[in-house]
Structure 1
Amino acid sequence: MSLTAILSLVAIVLVAVASAVIGSVAHRTRLTSDFLVASRSVPSRLNAGAISGEYLSAASFLGIAGLILVQGVDALWYAVGYTAGYLFLLLFVAAPLRRSGAYTVPDFADARLASPVLRKVCTAVVIVICWLYLLPQLQGAGLTVGIVTGLPDWIGSGAAGVIVVATVALGGMRSVTFVQAFQYWFKLTALAVPAVIGLAVWLGDGHTFARDEPPEFREPTTVSVGTPVTLEARLAVDVVARGTVDGQAVDGPLRWVAGSTHEVTAGTELRFAAGDPVPVTRGAPTDDESWLRPFTGSEQHQLLATYSLILATFLGTMGLPHVLGRFYTNSDGRAARRSAVLVLAMLGGFYLLVTLLGVLSRVYTPQLLVTGRTDAAVLLLPTAILGSGLLGALVGGLVAAGAWAAFLSTASGLLVSLASVVSTDVLPRHGRMTRRFPLATVLAGVPPTVVALVPTGLNFAEAVALVFAVAASTFCPLLVLGIWWRGLTDVGAIAGVVVGGVVSAGAVVAALAGADVSGLGTSAGWIGVLLYRPAIVSVPLAFATMALVSNFTRARRPADAGQVLLRLHAPERLGLMRDRLDDRA
């Protein structure tokens, strides 16, 4: 095992141990509210750090930089959307949600519309969203361990699942809050160090992207293709191949002419000389100049896909259970708004660093454009810039540990939200919460851990974007209309959540089942784009269904709708807010 692998593995273990120690020091869970909402006493700054810690997931730490490496400026919409989503959350949801007195999203739905059926539907949606979101976190942990140590990916995925389940089961929301705040600042540092070093080296190299040429291999490079890819050669290139290319077995030199496209199967080995132009995966910008301009790839209907992505990321944040659960932990609505404002600043700083690392990856890890495994860009960048010596190994270990902090933090927040719903809405509500919550955590955490052992082939940022589409199509309409429209009925809410959930989740299933989902836009036209980016259809459809069915069922409007809305919007000092659950030991 190399020095980089040893130091990375040590760093990963240390960050896991540090998280466990911090969680145990903060452990104090005697009441229901301790487990579910940390007794609603988390200060704004600490809560902002915890929110940022759990929100910045595998998609943010690894996925966005990888997408920028391939797509260029088109990929910036991910970072913009994930950040802007908090602005919408701040404007429309944060304070009223805190004043609802609820502990979970199903509890809010019950408080607003008093419908047991709606509560069950919301419970099912929480489980689907959290499981889909947990999957890329655990697989990201496996990818990190596999890249830096050479061990099988499933070992890292399984270890991460066990650690997260144990942490949440023992401490609940209170312990997780302190752990996530620590993990935010740690992973920010893990990005800042290689970003600053890499920027200094890059400026010294004098490299420019304002050129009509593809990136180049900086040294002789051997690429092992792990999954089938279709490569486009912008310029002619000589490659030594061993494996299967264009359906034929090869073991020797090949000449790829300019503008050609080639199918490369898994297990094929490609060797390039220093200075050779880098072939890129199909649909991506083939030269640096077009990489800097929007909509220059060869995929069809890129504008439609971008608008749908914007809608999903801008509105999806309002529907993420683990994000919403954080605003239940503030002391009042004003503190919830203050937390959201701080989060905007913290997310902005983080995504600036991720963007810079994506740009640097285009220069120093161009081989990932060939393999398609662009999620590894941030992990490989330190040694690509600094070499495999002690300094490169130290920075690489820091980045690997930061990546694990990202996975553990987000997975912990998701599992807290999932276990909260399972303990209050799935398990029989008798006995002490100190017994129900750990059992709910195990039941909620085992299935996604098992599924994570099997790779899906989706980029982490793309996988999370699909989850955002489901959240934007279900809980976003429910919260916005439930908070701001008196005319919402239980039947309308159920219809809207079911329609939006079925349409968006159906697209997610089709995407996860596809061998090459990103190619759907080319092979199936706009239908393929909508399967891959369903929000532009599913979100308006959910809002319209909820509004229309509510209008047709006016007689079912709750008699106390006015009082509930007054409670959601009135300042806390008027004393109208009440908790939905009793604090029982």
Structure 2
Amino acid sequence: MQLNPWALSGIATVAAMTFYLGHRSSRFANTTHDFLVARRTVRSRRNAAAISGEYLSAASFLGIAGIILKEGADGLWFPIGFAAGYLALMLFVAAPLRRSGAYTLPDFLEARLGSVALRRCGTFFVVFIGILYMVPQLQGAGLALTTVLSVPGWVGAVTVFALVGINVIAGGMRAITVVQAFQYWLKLFAIALPAFALCAVFLAGGKPGPAGSLGSPAPPVFGAETTVDIRTDVTFEVGTLTQVAVRPAGAATEHAEIWVQGSAQRLSQGTQVRFPAGTAVPTVTDAKAANSDWLRPGSGGLADLLQTYSLIFATFLGTMGLPHVLVRFYTNPDGRSARRTTLHVLLLLGLFYLFPIILGALSRMYVPELLVTGQTDAAVLRLPSAMVPGVAGQVIGAVVLAGAFAAFLSTSSGLLVSLAGVVSTDLSKGRVLDFRIAAGVVGLVPFALALVLRPNDLSLSVGMSFALAASTFSPLLLLGVWWRGLTWPGAMAGMIFGGGLVLGALGVEMVSRFTGDPAPWFADQPALITVPVAFAVTILVSLATPNGKPADVNPIMLRLHAPDRLGFMRDRAVARFGQAEERVRMGRGRHRK
């Protein structure tokens, strides 16, 4: 692959701006409260941009288009769910969570239910969710750089890890807030400009792409003779009788093969397959082969329908349980600004998600070979050069790569801050030094896993994080905010049951991925089962353990729901974090609305 100097320039620009903004903001971070919650002085609009910046992860920037390319109408539930989750967050959780005065999600659990054991259990799941969510960000960085620059996958992971680590260790939440707000607008530009430009190219051509019209019921076809490089072991289904030329990994010559209709072909990494022009595109086993199925939702039968409902449960309720999302609401001055922030986030996310859907549909007509390799997450990166050859395509591709790189950086930054905040306040004294040590140590775990584990579809990997968040923290937040009868044994039982079921499903899915055997639908999307179980266990155990209810539940509920202007809101345990001189400096900060 020819080196794209525009792509290198785009990555270098994003990296330089990220480092500059983070370094500039970190100069004002000198207390524990700066590192944990940016001194609770972040304005609503800036916080909304920062939340949108860290929320639009690799799954949003790359994965949505890949899911649309592979699944079609069924894949639309991903962007719908990712955005609509903030509606539930705004209506039920955002303002009471800020009024609680907590600093982290486990801190809120202890503030509401008065149990240190529950806080420790919550810490475990926060760390696990954060690591599970951060791994695909680092893998996505490797995929992006490998696709465009032909460098090893570990280069992208190392670059993202180094930049994120420097900013977070230097200034914590104070340093990354401005960076994430900037990166949202960069990502919006980097996805909107290619979408408009490529749509203009498509409309100016006056005909479908080389793979055929999306309205045709037949599968996509190769418009010209195409050689496909298999970069990971893959299994795909053959829709029609196909004659191909195969060169196995390590072989010097190729040989002809005939694939029978309906057969399943397994190819190992390093294999090359040459398809004649006009050949129907074989698809990975979980993709929609025919365009008629691709356009029709629920065409996969009962299993697909159950998986769709499970996805809705995970995304609608999982957003409110994501630690790196919730921690940003602690930076608002009060509950009213937290609710206003969420409304702005809904607008920003709704605008962004229009464009990956368009690019995913175009990808099915111009880069159908990704359905063979299974690397559909590379659709946004491959599409510009496929539609616009030459320098113009390289420039558009560089813009896309810059936006994707910003996505990896912003989401990883938010995740690392939330993990470091939880670990430093729960397992140590919560000083600035403790935060920095925790950030360095915790960040090494997802980095190592990203290098060891095989990449999977980014949206599906992140979807499992949403399922885990929905099955553990969503019941605790909804019931903790709105039900006085919640007890700490009930909260812990629900968290363990719901989380344990999701972890079991994750284990089944990982085993099936390595063995090649198909996994049941609930292994990919378990929330339809795990979320109701978590709610039921939490309620039943709470009813059976009334003594586990805190004695001061009435004052706590009053603080969560009383209007801000009544003055009931108090930050928790200020003296617990940092030193005396830090608290004096913190007291000089002024809230901005």
TM over 0.5: yes
The aligned residue for residue 113 of structure 1 is 113
The aligned residue for residue 270 of structure 1 is 273
Pair 1:462 & 2:464 matched: no
Structure 1, 33-42 or 50-59: larger mean CA deviation: 33-42
Residue correspondence of structure 1 range 72-221 to structure 2 within 5 A? 72-203=72-203, 204-207=205-208, 208-221=213-226
Is the alpha carbon distance of 1:518 and 1:494 closer, same or farther for their aligned partners in structure 2, counting shifts above 3 Å? farther
Q: Work out whether residues 93 and 320 of structure 2, in 8 Å CA contact, stay in contact via their aligned partners in 1.
A: yes
Give the aligned residue type for 1:316: G
Distance 2:292 2:188 in 1: 30
Residue correspondence of structure 1 range 19-98 to structure 2 within 5 A? 19-27=18-26, 28-98=28-98
Pair 1:13 & 2:16 matched: no
Report how far residue 428 of structure 1 moved.
Answer: 3.8
The aligned residue for residue 295 of structure 1 is 298
Structure 1, 185-194 or 511-520: larger mean CA deviation: 511-520
Distance 1:518 1:69 in 2: 22
Report how far residue 274 of structure 1 moved.
Answer: 3.0
Pair 1:318 & 2:320 matched: yes
Q: Work out whether residues 457 and 515 of structure 1, in 8 Å CA contact, stay in contact via their aligned partners in 2.
A: no
Give the aligned residue type for 1:540: P
Is the alpha carbon distance of 1:554 and 1:51 closer, same or farther for their aligned partners in structure 2, counting shifts above 3 Å? same
Report how far residue 257 of structure 1 moved.
Answer: 4.3
Residue correspondence of structure 1 range 384-533 to structure 2 within 5 A? 384-387=386-389, 389-429=390-430, 433-515=431-513, 520-521=518-519, 528-533=520-525
Distance 1:320 1:205 in 2: 44
Distance 2:258 2:96 in 1: 63
Q: Work out whether residues 9 and 145 of structure 1, in 8 Å CA contact, stay in contact via their aligned partners in 2.
A: no
Report how far residue 300 of structure 1 moved.
Answer: 6.4
CA RMSD across the alignment: 1.9
Q: Secondary structure at the match of 2:513?
A: coil
Q: Work out whether residues 423 and 437 of structure 1, in 8 Å CA contact, stay in contact via their aligned partners in 2.
A: yes
Report how far residue 140 of structure 1 moved.
Answer: 0.7
Query: What CA deviation, in whole Å up to 9, does each residue of 1:387-441 have, x standing for no partner?
Result: 1x22111111111111110010000000110000011001245xxx232211111
Q: Secondary structure at the match of 1:255?
A: strand
Distance 1:350 1:555 in 2: 48
Is the alpha carbon distance of 1:165 and 1:552 closer, same or farther for their aligned partners in structure 2, counting shifts above 3 Å? same
Q: Secondary structure at the match of 2:248?
A: strand
The aligned residue for residue 538 of structure 1 is 530
The aligned residue for residue 559 of structure 1 is 551
Q: Secondary structure at the match of 1:515?
A: helix
Report how far residue 463 of structure 1 moved.
Answer: 0.3
Distance 1:191 1:217 in 2: 26
Query: What CA deviation, in whole Å up to 9, does each residue of 1:369-398 have, x standing for no partner?
Result: 1101111111111111111x2211111111
Give the aligned residue type for 2:80: V
Q: How many residues align?
A: 570
Work out the percentage of aligned pairs sharing the same amino acid.
Answer: 51
Q: Secondary structure at the match of 2:254?
A: strand
Distance 1:355 1:517 in 2: 32
Report how far residue 249 of structure 1 moved.
Answer: 12
Q: Work out whether residues 218 and 290 of structure 2, in 8 Å CA contact, stay in contact via their aligned partners in 1.
A: yes
Distance 2:168 2:516 in 1: 35
Report how far residue 262 of structure 1 moved.
Answer: 2.6
Report how far residue 200 of structure 1 moved.
Answer: 1.4
Give the aligned residue type for 2:496: V
Is the alpha carbon distance of 1:52 and 1:300 closer, same or farther for their aligned partners in structure 2, counting shifts above 3 Å? same
Report how far residue 162 of structure 1 moved.
Answer: 1.7
Structure 1, 154-163 or 251-260: larger mean CA deviation: 251-260
Query: What CA deviation, in whole Å up to 9, does each residue of 1:16-53 have, x standing for no partner?
Result: 11011111222211222211111111111101100000
Report how far residue 259 of structure 1 moved.
Answer: 4.0
Distance 1:466 1:369 in 2: 22
Give the aligned residue type for 1:295: G
Report how far residue 143 of structure 1 moved.
Answer: 1.0
The aligned residue for residue 225 of structure 1 is 230
Is the alpha carbon distance of 1:510 and 1:186 closer, same or farther for their aligned partners in structure 2, counting shifts above 3 Å? same
Report how far residue 321 of structure 1 moved.
Answer: 0.3
Query: Gaps (5+ residues) in structure 2?
Result: 583-593
**TM-score calculated relative to the size of structure 2:** 0.93
Query: What CA deviation, in whole Å up to 9, does each residue of 1:177-204 have, x standing for no partner?
Result: 1000111111111111111111112222
Residue correspondence of structure 1 range 331-342 to structure 2 within 5 A? 331-342=333-344
Distance 1:279 1:234 in 2: 6
Report how far residue 550 of structure 1 moved.
Answer: 0.8
**TM-score calculated relative to the size of structure 1:** 0.94
Is the alpha carbon distance of 1:269 and 1:402 closer, same or farther for their aligned partners in structure 2, counting shifts above 3 Å? same
Q: Work out whether residues 316 and 472 of structure 1, in 8 Å CA contact, stay in contact via their aligned partners in 2.
A: yes
Give the aligned residue type for 1:378: V
Query: What CA deviation, in whole Å up to 9, does each residue of 1:253-297 have, x standing for no partner?
Result: 223344443333332211123332211112422222221111234
Q: 1:252 aligns with which of 247, 251, 255?
A: 255
Q: Work out whether residues 487 and 546 of structure 2, in 8 Å CA contact, stay in contact via their aligned partners in 1.
A: yes
Give the aligned residue type for 1:26: S
Pair 1:282 & 2:294 matched: no
Report how far residue 216 of structure 1 moved.
Answer: 1.9
Distance 1:286 1:542 in 2: 36
Distance 2:517 2:7 in 1: 35
Q: Work out whether residues 228 and 266 of structure 1, in 8 Å CA contact, stay in contact via their aligned partners in 2.
A: yes
Q: Work out whether residues 492 and 549 of structure 1, in 8 Å CA contact, stay in contact via their aligned partners in 2.
A: yes
Structure 1, 371-380 or 256-265: larger mean CA deviation: 256-265
Distance 1:390 1:284 in 2: 32
Is the alpha carbon distance of 1:234 and 1:205 closer, same or farther for their aligned partners in structure 2, counting shifts above 3 Å? farther
Query: What CA deviation, in whole Å up to 9, does each residue of 1:85-125 have, x standing for no partner?
Result: 11111111001001000010011011101111011111111
Distance 2:476 2:504 in 1: 19
Report how far residue 67 of structure 1 moved.
Answer: 1.0
Q: Work out whether residues 96 and 333 of structure 1, in 8 Å CA contact, stay in contact via their aligned partners in 2.
A: yes
Is the alpha carbon distance of 1:205 and 1:230 closer, same or farther for their aligned partners in structure 2, counting shifts above 3 Å? farther
Q: Secondary structure at the match of 2:264?
A: strand
Structure 1, 464-473 or 156-165: larger mean CA deviation: 156-165
Q: Secondary structure at the match of 1:577?
A: coil
Query: What CA deviation, in whole Å up to 9, does each residue of 1:50-95 have, x standing for no partner?
Result: 0000001011111111111111111111111111111111111001
Q: Work out whether residues 520 and 529 of structure 1, in 8 Å CA contact, stay in contact via their aligned partners in 2.
A: no
